[in-house]
Chain A
Amino acid sequence: MNAIATPAKLHDCRDAFVAVLERLGAENPNVVAVCNDSVGSSKLGGFKSKFPERLVNVGIAEQNMVGVGAGLANGGLLPFVCGASCFLTGRSLEQVKADIAYSNANVKLVGISSGMAYGELGPTHHSIEDFAWTRVLPNLPVIAPCDSIETAAAVEWAANYPGPVFLRLSRVGVPDLLPAGHVFQMGKANLLRDGDAVTLIANGTLTHRMMKAAEILATEGIQARVLNMATVRPIDVEAVVAAVRDTGAILTAEEHSVFGGLGSAIAEVVVAEAPAPMKILGVPGIFAPTGSAEFLLDEFGMAPSAVAEAAKSLLARKSGRA
């Protein structure tokens, strides 16, 4: 397992999303895509050319987009509602709450370009609050795949899951980490690398950075466990408890505010079930400055080398406590 090398080729997970969506569209006439003038940014051009009548573009009107999605589901269709995650979740949060989650509508919400994918466009276009906003809503699984393989598997799973889902995707290139043929399981973390010194947990664009950090730590004789935890809700309690039991410390990283996201969800488990030293990496509660997503992740201490340093300081806390 530790022999997995980090491949260099980077993939835009939107491609994996639309490839599965187009296949689902061919297999199931009830599959529809709904968007907010985002045919291009959601990469729905292929779906549109294959199934023009099933591409519902409501224009720049996100509240209507989410409501229409709920209505389409009520009418027996299987809608994938796609839009930039900042607008899909922020602008239409009450629709997501009332029309989708509370109504338990079988709608798949697909947040594109989440996190700081629109880095240079500024904080209005960053979506570093979406885990926090969505994971407090009952009935709504929140999922951020780490690579194109998991993205494809999660879209396939979502289509068959009988209820609402929020898929949080990025446009920032990431290497494939999971094995071909991977089957997505909601609420189940994937063990990418095992170790006993500390557990590194991430999802989305941060998982591969965690793998690189683990490689750095290994050169110093520190064996880190790496968990990919795409599902932010429901959180994998078992994997978190096992991480504390086996490694005694947890370091998380996410392309999201440090408040209310993956790290917070894990911290809730740690506090209640298995107290242990823990640190949460993410955007430190500020509106981010100008820069690309990759630049900003480095800026906020999530370069692999910085993650490795954070892990080591956590180890010091762990041993200080022991």
Chain B
Amino acid sequence: MTNCIIMHTRNSMQPNDLERIARQIRLRDLQAVYEAGAGHIGGEMSATDILTALYFKVLRVWPEQPKHPERDRFVLSKGHVALALYVTLAKRGFIPEEEIHTFLKPHSRLNGHPNCNKVPGVETNTGPLGHGLPVAVGMALAAKLRGATYHTYVLTGDGEMQEGSNWEAISSAAQFGLNNLTLIIDHNRFQQGAALKDTNDLAPFASKLVAFGWDVTEINGNEMAEIVPALEKRTARPHCIVAHTNKGHGISFMQDRVDWHHRVPNAEQYQIALAELSETL
């Protein structure tokens, strides 16, 4: 019933509603990381607002018909933040919310990277970086060839953009005129081991995407009032949203700290994080 209400009221969702849902997703994500003793909490927190806006406002999807041919496609290319996707999919009604307890447990379908053959709502298997964008290009191209009206979204990490396959895909998306494709780069400025700028600094992204023939929008990717219009924006060329985010967003001691890429909070840190996320609910 809750899901039906969400479905019917999706388009009337206001930024405040979405922010509340995003905080609930962050809280559940934190609890699951703590329970499982693993996860990629930094990148999950940076991407949660984008996932929330997609699933609770923007995407035309039907949880009871996850393979509906006209569904909008969303590809989580930064597959290591699978937990944030699972929590979002559960909240949206694709999988039972209580199943989040099984994250990373033996034989759970919720492993560390999403599996499209087991988890409804997942479109393609990701995990190795640089895979989602080429697949998304194929999805958008299929819509063009078949005259379908669905839109394709793909979320990559900023460090992930170091994979050359992404630039093959960016170039071909422009060549194919895929104005039904939106790439969101979760630009949290940190990769697994260091800051992007200290590793292989592709920033600024916007000028590079423009040079490849894309339209680019830069936003605060943790600010719902900026995220939603950017996702809903339609452009003449493929659209890239450079989403400036904070790794660990919402939990003060994790914010912008590279060591929280995949660290697990201890009991004391967990209580602090719980309190911070709960007080804003």
Which positions in A face B, CB cutoff 8 Å?
30, 32, 53-54, 56, 58-59, 61, 63-64, 66-77, 79, 94-95, 98-99, 102-105
Contact = CB atoms under 8 A, between A and B. Distances in A.
Interface in B125-142: 125-128, 130-131, 133-142
B169 interface: yes
Interface residues of B, number: 35
Contact of B128 (A66, A75, A94): A94
Given A32-B145, A53-B145, A74 B165 contact: no
A296 B127 CA distance: 40
Given A64-B165, A75-B143, A58 B172 contact: yes
B272 interface: no
Contacts of A74: 73, 123-124, 135, 138-139, 142
Contacts of B169: 64, 67-68
Interface in B154-196: 164-165, 168-169, 171-172, 175-176
A34 B270 CA distance: 50
Nearest to A30: B146
Contact of A68 (B123, B130, B138): B138
A75 B134 contact: no
A68 B141 contact: yes
A72 B138 contact: yes
Given A70-B134, A71-B141, 7 more contacts: A61-B172, A63-B130, A64-B134, A68-B134, A70-B124, A77-B146, A94-B131
5 contacts: A54-B145, A64-B137, A71-B138, A99-B135, A105-B124
B148 A63 contact: no
B172 A71 contact: no
Interface string B27-61: 00000000000000000000000000000000000
B69 A76 contact: yes
A104 B135 contact: no
A226 B128 CA distance: 43
B172 A59 contact: yes
A71 B124 contact: yes
Contact of B116 (A64, A71, A79, A103): A103
Contact of B135 (A53, A59, A71): A71
Contacts of A99: 124-125, 131, 134-135
10 tightest CB-CB pairs across the interface, nearest first? A71-B138, A75-B142, A67-B134, A64-B168, A61-B168, A68-B138, A71-B139, A63-B165, A71-B135, A72-B138
Nearest to A105: B124
B199 interface: no
Contacts of B14: none
B117 interface: yes
B125 to A, nearest CB: 4
Nearest to A67: B134
Contacts of B73: 74-75
A72 B73 CA distance: 12
Contacts of A72: 138-139, 141-142, 145
Contacts of A67: 131, 133-135, 137-138, 165, 169
A3 to B, nearest CB: 48
A102 B127 CA distance: 11
| Chain A interface mostly | helix
Given A61-B171, A64-B165, A75-B146, A98 B126 contact: yes
Contacts of A53: 145
A98 B125 contact: yes
A71 B124 CA distance: 8
B145 to A, nearest CB: 6
Contact of B125 (A66, A73, A77, A102): A102
Contacts of A30: 146
Nearest to A63: B165
A58 B171 CA distance: 9
B148 to A, nearest CB: 7
Nearest to B143: A75
Given A61-B172, A95-B131, A104-B117, A75 B138 contact: yes
A93 to B, nearest CB: 11
B128 A98 contact: yes
A103 B117 contact: yes
A231 B140 CA distance: 34
B129 to A, nearest CB: 10
Contacts of B126: 98
Which of A63, A67, A69, A73 has the most B CB atoms < 10 Å from its CB?
A67
A56 B125 contact: no
A68 B172 contact: yes
A68 B138 CA distance: 4
Contacts of A68: 134-135, 137-138, 141, 169, 172
A94 B125 CA distance: 12
A271 B186 CA distance: 51
A53 B131 CA distance: 25
Contacts of A95: 131, 134, 165
A31 B142 CA distance: 11
Contacts of A56: 141, 176
Contacts of B128: 94, 98
Contacts of B133: 67
Nearest to A102: B125
Contacts of A105: 124
B241 to A, nearest CB: 19
Given A70-B135, A102-B125, A76 B172 contact: no
